Amino acid sequence: MKLVRIFLALCVAVFVYVPVFAQDYGTKDEAKAMVNAAVMHIKKVGKDQAFKDFSTDKTNWVKKDLYVFVQDFSGNVLAHGMNEKLVGKNLIDMKDQNGKAFAREFVSVGANKGEGWVDYDWAHPVTKKAVAKSSFVKRIPGFDGVVVVGAYR
């Protein structure tokens, strides 16, 4: 009987805690929606104010483990919601642990297709472990740069 109670308690814990834990991770749909909201914000307030907002306004531009960053076509980081110290750095040659030049692919997708997904591996900001990530990339209208939000898979 004691084992049955322990088993039931564990089942309840799994059903309660697993959904809560899962909600801490953003989805691909949420990433795409955040990119589209960021592009609308740029249109509304202008790129200079929007870029500042993306880097400093964590309440509106960081959700779960999703964050906005902006990169121009040369690879310069113009905004970064997770690490403001990256603003002004050129990351065009940055590669994932498998050698994939994902920053160049962001540029390629934005310049050639206008929008799309880029898959690569990257360290999760909470766990610090390299995991698969899919980033939605969208070109900023009238500007040689992209807004990017990635969802860990």
**CATH classification of the domain holding 147:** 3.30.450.20
Residue 11 lies in a domain: no
Mean pLDDT confidence for 111-133: 92
Give the count of domains, the chain.
Answer: 1
Q: Residue 77: pLDDT band by 50, 70, 90 thresholds?
A: very high
User: Quick one: tokens of 144?
Assistant: 């040689």
Residue 21 lies in a domain: no
What is the model's pTM?
0.83
**Using an 8 Å Cβ cutoff, are 24 and 66 in contact?**
no
Residue 112 lies in a domain: yes
User: Can you give the pLDDT at residue 126?
Assistant: 75
Residue 51 lies in a domain: yes
Residue 94 lies in a domain: yes
Q: What is the DSSP letter of 140?
A: P
> What's at 77, amino acid-wise?
V
**Using an 8 Å Cβ cutoff, are 70 and 36 in contact?**
no
Residue 8 lies in a domain: no
Range of the domain at 140: 27-152
Candidates 36, 81, 80; CA nearest to 58 is: 81
